[in-house]
Amino acid sequence: MERYKKIFKEAISKDLKKDVLDRPLEFRYQMLGRFQQDADYYFRNPSPKHLWASDPIEHADNMIALYNTFKRSEYPKWFTTRQLQSYVIKLKSM
Q: Cα separation of 47 and 74, whole Å? A: 32
pLDDT at 13 (0 to 100)? 63
Over 80: is that where the pLDDT of 16 sits?
Answer: no
Alpha helices, H only, the chain = 2-7, 14-16, 25-44, 56-67, 81-93
pLDDT at 14 (0 to 100)? 64
pLDDT at 40 (0 to 100)? 97
pLDDT at 3 (0 to 100)? 42
- Per domain, the residue ranges of the chain are 2-93
| 63 — pLDDT class (breaks 50, 70, 90) | very high
